[in-house]
């Protein structure tokens, strides 16, 4: 029997992780099941470090193997920003709309040829004994100069996927999960879980 706690406070991520792991895990807990867990300071220097901090803290506090996702948007022409600061690009507590507005401002002068970007996702699986494994995935795209679509979350309305001719916010959620950075990282996790039961 595989039981996992998904240690994310981001509802958009939680929904996608639940969809992607459905059928592979017997029971998926979320942070709402454990309202008193300690806050985690995301001060790591890499996506992997932050993912491990979040998953390890949850696994140690609950005794349940825990999964955390640390992800973000990397815009090459902005020197890799917003990167690991994607959630708080325009300040602590920033909304997705605030972050998208700041990104549009920062990219305003960039010509089409310099609007390449990718999403990166590090997923950590940590156990109460302190053991951790990480899995990663990326998705390449191009940043638009105006939002398109109402699906997804975060930077999805600005992230155009040339192969599909749509932004992530215009794609069906099942298609996004099949091609996304998160989908790819969780596919690696699924392969790992199918070879090893963890609860
Ligand atoms: P948790 O730490 O609680 O999981 P968070 O939103 O703070 O939630 P991160 O620190 O990993 O998580 O920041 C991820 C940010 O990157 C997220 O808030 C979005 O702005 C962006 N992001 C990640 N994946 C995305 C996706 O699939 N689509 C759009 N934006 C995404």
Catalytic residue (choose from 43, 69, 70, 178): 70
| The pLDDT of residue 199 is above 70 | no
| Cα 91 to ligand 1 centroid, rounded to whole Å | 14
Q: Is 26 part of the annotated catalytic residue set?
A: no
Q: Identify the residues whose C-beta falls under 6 Å from ligand 1.
A: 8-10, 13, 42, 54, 69-73, 86-87, 99, 119, 152-156, 168, 180, 182
Q: Is the dihedral of CA 191, 192, 193, 196 positive or negative?
A: positive
Instruction: Give pLDDT tens digits for 177-191.
Output: 999 999 999 999 999
pLDDT tens per residue across span 27-43:
999 999 999 999 999 99
pLDDT digits (tens, 9 = 90+) for 95-141: 999 999 999 999 999 999 999 999 999 999 999 999 999 999 999 99
Token couple for 17:
């992780």
Residue 61 pLDDT > 90: yes
Instruction: Give the domains, in start order, of the chain with CATH numbers.
Output: 3-193 (3.90.950.10)
For the chain, the average pLDDT equals 96
Atom 21 of ligand 1, residue of closest alpha carbon: 72
How many angstroms separate the CA atoms of 28 and 101, rounded?
34
User: How far does the centroid of ligand 1 lie from the alpha carbon of residue 106, in Å?
Assistant: 19
């Amino acid at each position: 029997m595989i039981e996992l706690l998904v240690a994310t406070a981001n509802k958009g991520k939680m929904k996608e992780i639940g969809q992607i792991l459905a059928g592979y895990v017997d029971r998926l807990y979320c942070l709402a099941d454990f309202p008193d867990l300690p806050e985690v300071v995301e001060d790591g220097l890499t996506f992997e470090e932050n993912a491990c901090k979040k998953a390890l803290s949850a696994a140690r506090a609950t005794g349940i193997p825990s999964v955390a996702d640390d992800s973000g948007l990397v815009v090459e022409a902005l020197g890799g920003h917003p990167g690991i600061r994607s959630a708080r690009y325009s300040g602590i507590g920033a909304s997705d709309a605030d972050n998208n507005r700041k990104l549009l401002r920062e990219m305003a002068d960039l010509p089409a040829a310099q609007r390449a970007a990718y999403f990166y996702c590090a997923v950590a699986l940590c156990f109460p004994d302190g053991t951790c494994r990480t899995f990663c995935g990326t998705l390449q795209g191009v940043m638009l100069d105006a939002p398109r679509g109402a699906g997804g979350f975060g930077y999805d309305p600005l992230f155009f996927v040339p192969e599909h001719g749509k932004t992530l916010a215009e794609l069906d959620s099942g298609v996004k999960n099949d091609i996304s950075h998160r989908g790819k990282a969780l596919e690696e996790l699924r392969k790992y879980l199918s070879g090893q039961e963890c609860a």
